[in-house]
Structure 1
Amino acid sequence: MTEESAVDTTEGWNRRVFLRGTVATAGAAGVTALTTGGAVAAGGSGRADGSPETEAGLRVVRTGVEYAENLLGTDLELPRLSWELAAPGHGARQTAYQVRVTRDSGGRGSRGRTVWDSGKVASDRTVGIPYGGPALRPRTRYHWQVRVWDAAGRRSPWSQTRWWEMALPDDGWLASWIGAEELPAPPSLEGASWIWSPGATSSDAPEGERRFRATLALPAGAVVKRAVVSATADDDFTLYVHGQQVLHAPQQTDGWRTGRTADVTEQARSADGGIVVAALATNRPGASVNPGGLLARLLVETEDGRTHELRTGDGWRTTDTAQEGWERPGFDDGDWAPAAVLAPYGEGPWGGNVTVTAPEAPAPLLRRSFTVRGRVSRARLHISGLAYYEAEINGRRVGDQVLDPGFTDYDETVLYAVHDVTELLRRGENAIGVALGRGFYGMTTPNVWNWHRAPWHGEPRLLAQLEIDHPDGTRTTVATDTRWRITEGPTRSNSLYAGETYDARQAPEGWSRPGFDDSGWRPAGVREAPGGTLRAQPHDPIGIVDTVRPKAIEE
């Protein structure tokens, strides 16, 4: 290439472009970078007699810190700096560089405070140069530039000024983790047995529908405090308590692996003389080895502190005929046959492979009103929502990221993001609102990777700290604590595997704006912090790249 074809393409620059378009050969003479357009970062290396060229030499066309153009919120002690070069001609190479870092954007001007000047460093490296100055201060923005020398000793102009900003120090967090209450653990199926019709075995059972009934008699005068039922069937089932449908599992492959649970306290309280549990279960045809079975357990706590239970096993009755009112109390099942007990839970072809999942709580909404008493010079929101968050301030969305923060082993590392929210605040009354999603942290959908059983699993929770700096040097801090309010939001369920159910009727209008009446919401409780170390998110967030819109909507 005999002429400069590199162009300044810093507009729209991001670290993905940098990584895709840059080729570095650190420690080797010759080409050190390619521009995103594919042009060699080249230039003349001097005349044959050693005299310098009169044309311009190398110039810096792009710079990045941690492969981002500018970086808001990092806790790295030694951020890495990189740059791309261009020059006319061909065969040019960098022979030295100089980096300078200041605490303002004015370079070496009268207001500049240089914190590190590398001096002239003999090197052809252009990627991953670590900051080499004194310890960086938290909550501080640093500006940097670089210039280089080519093989002829010609010095380039200083690059355009770029910056990075340090995040909170480890001891700078005033916020507490808050969020939804942990749901009571659903009762397991321990102690229950798989049952089916007479003549069935654990390896083969008659196909078709079977109806089952049993009654749990409570002591005279017992007052029901709480009642919960768990059940599953091979292949699908519908379960009734006191004549009311409380559980339904549709037909699906290996549906028996997912146990269903329901709170049946009201049904149990309304029972008179005994709590009737009835189930319609179906063994679907098609398999050469075709076991079928029903597995259920009812737990009833009474006010005297005792627990009573009904488990599938001996004492259950069954029929293959449909009869009016078979699921209701008072029905006479005296002519039904005793159910066959096939295997205790944990044995037979099913083993102990049933996961009982509690009903998923809707995604929580959290909010807090606060007052800003002075002018705002800058404001930063430091936030981590497990597993995901979407934040709003005064009704306006914070950022355009989705599925944030990034997924980690939450026992090792928990990521938080930093947002510049200066323009979203105003003097006087303000409000912040955050919606939380489950992601992997709160996964309830059973899956082969067992994310729903991870040791760090928990209900969604939030850590947020809004720091508002004022021109007089004071700071207003709004941190998550028990002054925040919480309620169930319009997202009734959300799963990375099963999708999302959204009920727009449940969306409270203006919930993230000042003046909203949250008196019907409850105080947010402080929750246990995840075990991992809190770190500023080092990578680009996920963004929406395209939206698919329906051509028609039918009811």
Structure 2
Amino acid sequence: MFTITGLRCEYLENPVGIDVLQPRISWRMESDERASAQTAYRIEVAGDDRFQEKLWDSGQVLSDQSVHIQLTGLKMESRQRYYYRVQAWNQHGECSEWSETAFWEMGLLKADEWQAVWIGAPASLLPENSEQCPMLRRSFELDGKIKSARVYASALGLYELEMNGVKIGDAYFAPGWTSYKHRLQYQTYDVTGLLRQGGNVIGAMLGNGWYKGNLAWAGSKDLYGDRLALLFQLHITLEDSREITVISDDGWKVSGSPILMSEIYHGETYDARLEQPGWSAEGFDDSGWQPVVILSHTKAILIAQENVPVRKIEEIKPIQLIETPAGETVIDMGQNMVGWIRFTVKGEAGQEVQIRHAEILDGEGNFYTDNLRAAKQLIRYVLKGGESETFEPHFTFQGFRYIRLTGFEEPVRLDDFTGIVLHSDMEPTGDFQCSNPLINQLQHNIVWGLKGNFLDVPTDCPQRDERLGWTGDAQMFIRTASYLANITPFFTKWLRDLKADQAADGGVPFVVPNVLGTEGNGLFGPPFNSAAWGDAAVICPWTIYLCYGDKRILEEQYDSMKAWVDYIRGQGEHEYLWNTGFHFGDWLALDSKPDSYIGATDRDYIATAFYAYSVSLMQKTAAVLGNTEDEKAFAALYSNILRAFTDEFVTPSGRLSVATQTGQVLALMFGLLEGPAKERAVRKLMELLEESKFHLTTGFVGTPYLNHVLSDNGNNEAAYKLLFQQDYPSWLYQVTKGATTIWEHWDGIKEDGSFWSKDMNSFNHYAYGAIGDWLYRSVAGIDTDDHEPGYKRIRIRPQPGDGLDWAQGQLQTLYGLVRSRWEKSDDGRMRIEVKIPPNTTAEIHLPGAALEAVTENGIKLSEAAGISSVTDMDTGVRVLVGSGEFQFAY
């Protein structure tokens, strides 16, 4: 027997309020039998959960496809809920029972369906220079029993909604950060259970957020607009089939709120004495509130929520109360985290308490904030007095491990403080563990780097006056991120913003959404078009396709990808080299010149190498999409770039003219060398590592690929040697210094306890966490096949090395759980355990194995079920298998 489970629509379980006109359905097949496979499927879609009102039936489709099935021919209607179920046939021709019923629900599909208008506070209430957040409310009556109700809402700024005194939904920082001039998300909420017959009240609170607040390091504000506004539309269906609509219009009222200031960087100021209890509930006297004003703003840019929402993911309790040498009261949360503090305090009315946030203590043990630059990260709370008061912020987030308390009465109780971790609510998918505790801590730090920097956009850092969607950091980390969580909705949204903010000439901004403008601010020059940064336009969509089999993202981004390559080709006098413009180079590499952030690797070399790499991915993308002419054109372009690269950077004897670690790594990783030149680059890399006593000197560009290049070119032990270094510079140096996230600099804290710098020293920066890709792909050995992506065909190829007795990784793919574990015994024997999900196949490499010595679950390979072929190779044994759990020993 087998079952169909895990039904998803557009990666989501029962999504409400999508606007995808041709939704895609995915499911998992579950079976205890080895080599289980799907041979056919059937999907039914109905307007009711009993399937009496059938809308669409695929019939039996002979196919093994079980992810991203596009429901062509089914016309979507706004606000309609669609129920669906799946059955499938296996390799024996047996048919499963119908799956459990799942559903998706459409949002508002057309701009003219928005009856609501934008509303905000009048200038007489909140002048232009006011930092106070507005509260808005509207009361209405219902004269019948409620059958269903949906809210559709967005804002210029951030918003929170309440209905009858209860918060609507569990999301924060809605509507999220997009390229606001082109795209603005709205959210859908099922509020059926919050409404009641009789009087009802809607309440809304607005904050500056990314729309109006302070962004980037130049102190800029109002980058998208200078007025906060709400857009709200409530559709109610009563039991008697009547429909009622409540919208944002001139019938709403507005008041100032207790939030006197709220900024992403600077924190929040809240005066509890200004609270108006019951303001979003029936019976509240709003006679002192003012009428709202209607604002003019387009609704044509509205789109349904694309990314998963930001939510409260977990809570952390403090581990220590510290009295610093400077006499300050500090609490250690034990983990560098992103979110805010919920705290309870008791005192007199008008008493003010403050919480300042920091990542680190200095060498003397004092609270350290210099690396925050202009970001204040300060919560100010004024008590209303009386009983204990509990508070948490609304429209701000902090990056911190330590908090400094001011104004709190003694003795301070740790139980009164809780860290609330917030980030985009991505489904965790991966886990890596091994026999070395320091490596496990490194993996922990990588995961927390993702948690801290995937708050609606992939930011570089979450604490200082920056927190921007740097394209380079995102493309460097995306493959690692794909192991840690289901990142497709997250990156789908971000890549659409990249496309929206892309220049007319195809150039790509340094940060997405682009808040650095077009002229630049003197720090870097015009904020567009650095190699390895702009290449995110190509690398990120390809990576999503590779890891999730998502062809649609290539279709959507193809014009953007192509435009970026065309931009590069149009630079300078040589269309096959990129040797013009500003580039970040091997950012923060340790071989940089004094007082320089840019590494020693020639920037023209890096630019041309990434040019070649992006073109190679464009050739593959065109092939996937069936664009034969483009595929040929990109193949020819790649050949010309390769020839020009060789002429420019490779001597006739095969030596690279760029003698750095990163120089060798890029040429080898991107396949730019062959024969003697490739062999020489491998030797040169090893020479450079030996010169540095097996310490890396690479920066943002070279580090993600370094260990891959070593393992893939016969130097796996060198890769392990790098991994296990504990002195500076190394990944574990940070761990030995107590890091709980990944640092921006290899020596953010120097060996003498001093800091690298004040101006740019984040202790939560995920770029160097890209080593996680190697841990999963090479150490645990879990990978996918380019030709059958998304783990339809799985590659299990662990590469054990000295220093580990065992390692294991697991990954929840769209097909189910993939698991790989290896263990070495003291006598040199190897045991490898593998789990392959149904409806997939796997190519398993047993490193160093001799065919005659290998057993599977105690029997010969030739007698084991589920194995389709076995090949004896120089490097070990290759086994092709179907689904199931396998235990190999040799």
Same fold (TM over 0.5): yes
Structure 1 position 549, deviation (Å): 4.9
Does residue 320 of structure 2 align to residue 379 of structure 1?
A: no
Hey, what's the Cα distance between the residues in 2 that align with 1:161 and 1:134? 18
What is the RMSD of the two structures over their aligned residues, measured on CA atoms?
2.3
SS of the aligned residue for 1:440 comes to helix
Structure 1 position 538, deviation (Å): 2.4
398, 402, 408: which one aligns with 1:554: 408
**2:836 matched residue in structure 1:** none
Hey, what's the Cα distance between the residues in 2 that align with 1:446 and 1:81? 39
Hey, what's the Cα distance between the residues in 2 that align with 1:102 and 1:366? 39
* Paired letter, 2:408: E
* Paired letter, 1:415: Q
Hey, what's the Cα distance between the residues in 2 that align with 1:99 and 1:155? 13
436, 439, 448: which one aligns with 2:217: 448
**2:115 matched residue in structure 1:** 174
Structure 1 position 384, deviation (Å): 0.8
Q: Higher strand fraction: Structure 1 or Structure 2?
A: 1
**2:77 matched residue in structure 1:** 137
Greater C-alpha Rg = 1
* Paired letter, 2:21: E
| Contact 1:463–1:480 under 8 Å retained in 2 | yes
**1:126 matched residue in structure 2:** 66
Deviation track 1:499-528 (CA, whole Å, cap 9, x = no partner) reads 111111111111001121111111100012
TM-score by length of 1: 0.55
Deviation track 1:63-117 (CA, whole Å, cap 9, x = no partner) reads 111111101111211111110111122112112111110111113xxxx111111
**1:390 matched residue in structure 2:** 160
Deviation track 1:117-166 (CA, whole Å, cap 9, x = no partner) reads 11111222211111223312222111001111122211111111001111
Give the alignment of 1:132-281 within 5 angstroms. Answer: 132-170=72-110, 171-181=112-122
Hey, what's the Cα distance between the residues in 2 that align with 1:450 and 1:124? 55
**1:89 matched residue in structure 2:** 33
* Paired letter, 2:71: Y
* Paired letter, 1:151: Q
Any gaps of 5 or more consecutive residues in structure 2?
316-340, 346-406, 410-890
Hey, what's the Cα distance between the residues in 1 that align with 2:90 and 2:97? 12
| Contact 1:368–1:433 under 8 Å retained in 2 | yes
| Contact 1:494–1:501 under 8 Å retained in 2 | yes
Deviation track 1:226-260 (CA, whole Å, cap 9, x = no partner) reads xxxxxxxxxxxxxxxxxxxxxxxxxxxxxxxxxxx
**2:402 matched residue in structure 1:** none
The structure-2 alpha-carbon separation of the partners of 1:549 and 1:140, relative to structure 1 and needing over 3 Å to count, comes to closer
SS of the aligned residue for 1:505 comes to helix
Hey, what's the Cα distance between the residues in 2 that align with 1:384 and 1:450? 26
SS of the aligned residue for 1:441 comes to helix
Give the alignment of 1:479-490 within 5 angstroms. Answer: 479-490=247-258
428, 439, 442: which one aligns with 2:209: 439
Hey, what's the Cα distance between the residues in 2 that align with 1:184 and 1:453? 19
| Contact 1:362–1:488 under 8 Å retained in 2 | yes
Deviation track 1:340-388 (CA, whole Å, cap 9, x = no partner) reads xxxxxxxxxxxxxxxxxx7343010000111111111111111112321
Hey, what's the Cα distance between the residues in 1 that align with 2:253 and 2:4? 51
The structure-2 alpha-carbon separation of the partners of 1:549 and 1:483, relative to structure 1 and needing over 3 Å to count, comes to closer
Deviation track 1:7-39 (CA, whole Å, cap 9, x = no partner) reads xxxxxxxxxxxxxxxxxxxxxxxxxxxxxxxxx
**2:567 matched residue in structure 1:** none
Higher RCO (C-alpha 8 Å, min separation 6): 1
Does residue 239 of structure 2 align to residue 471 of structure 1?
A: yes
* Paired letter, 2:171: Q
| Contact 2:212–2:222 under 8 Å retained in 1 | no
SS of the aligned residue for 2:221 comes to helix
* Paired letter, 2:93: G
The structure-2 alpha-carbon separation of the partners of 1:156 and 1:64, relative to structure 1 and needing over 3 Å to count, comes to same
Hey, what's the Cα distance between the residues in 1 that align with 2:8 and 2:225? 37
Hey, what's the Cα distance between the residues in 1 that align with 2:218 and 2:91? 55
Hey, what's the Cα distance between the residues in 2 that align with 1:500 and 1:549? 13
* Paired letter, 2:117: S
30, 42, 61: which one aligns with 1:98: 42
Q: Higher helix fraction: Structure 1 or Structure 2?
A: 2
502, 517, 525: which one aligns with 2:270: 502
Hey, what's the Cα distance between the residues in 2 that align with 1:412 and 1:459? 17
The structure-2 alpha-carbon separation of the partners of 1:62 and 1:466, relative to structure 1 and needing over 3 Å to count, comes to same
Does residue 177 of structure 2 align to residue 407 of structure 1?
A: yes
| Contact 2:17–2:105 under 8 Å retained in 1 | yes
**2:12 matched residue in structure 1:** 68
The structure-2 alpha-carbon separation of the partners of 1:535 and 1:182, relative to structure 1 and needing over 3 Å to count, comes to farther
Does residue 275 of structure 2 align to residue 520 of structure 1?
A: no
Deviation track 1:270-308 (CA, whole Å, cap 9, x = no partner) reads xxxxxxxxxxxxxxxxxxxxxxxxxxxxxxxxxxxxxxx
| Contact 1:182–1:459 under 8 Å retained in 2 | no
* Paired letter, 1:116: W
**2:188 matched residue in structure 1:** 418
Hey, what's the Cα distance between the residues in 2 that align with 1:411 and 1:531? 11
The structure-2 alpha-carbon separation of the partners of 1:133 and 1:463, relative to structure 1 and needing over 3 Å to count, comes to same
* Paired letter, 2:61: V
| Contact 1:367–1:432 under 8 Å retained in 2 | yes
Does residue 310 of structure 2 align to residue 370 of structure 1?
A: no
* Paired letter, 1:430: N
SS of the aligned residue for 2:313 comes to coil
| Contact 1:411–1:532 under 8 Å retained in 2 | no
| Contact 2:125–2:256 under 8 Å retained in 1 | no
Structure 1 position 551, deviation (Å): 8.8
SS of the aligned residue for 2:314 comes to coil
SS of the aligned residue for 1:545 comes to strand
SS of the aligned residue for 1:546 comes to strand
| Contact 2:237–2:244 under 8 Å retained in 1 | yes
The structure-2 alpha-carbon separation of the partners of 1:549 and 1:184, relative to structure 1 and needing over 3 Å to count, comes to closer
The structure-2 alpha-carbon separation of the partners of 1:126 and 1:458, relative to structure 1 and needing over 3 Å to count, comes to farther
Hey, what's the Cα distance between the residues in 1 that align with 2:36 and 2:215? 58
Hey, what's the Cα distance between the residues in 1 that align with 2:121 and 2:230? 9
Hey, what's the Cα distance between the residues in 1 that align with 2:344 and 2:282? 37
| Contact 2:118–2:231 under 8 Å retained in 1 | yes
* Paired letter, 1:375: K
**1:114 matched residue in structure 2:** 54
**1:310 matched residue in structure 2:** none
| Contact 1:382–1:419 under 8 Å retained in 2 | yes
Hey, what's the Cα distance between the residues in 1 that align with 2:233 and 2:125? 30
| Contact 2:201–2:281 under 8 Å retained in 1 | yes
Q: Percent identity?
A: 37
TM-score by length of 2: 0.35
The structure-2 alpha-carbon separation of the partners of 1:488 and 1:549, relative to structure 1 and needing over 3 Å to count, comes to closer
| Contact 1:95–1:150 under 8 Å retained in 2 | yes
| Contact 1:98–1:148 under 8 Å retained in 2 | yes
Any gaps of 5 or more consecutive residues in structure 1?
1-55, 186-262, 264-357
SS of the aligned residue for 2:146 comes to coil
**1:354 matched residue in structure 2:** none
Hey, what's the Cα distance between the residues in 1 that align with 2:31 and 2:293? 60
The structure-2 alpha-carbon separation of the partners of 1:130 and 1:401, relative to structure 1 and needing over 3 Å to count, comes to same
| Contact 1:97–1:120 under 8 Å retained in 2 | yes
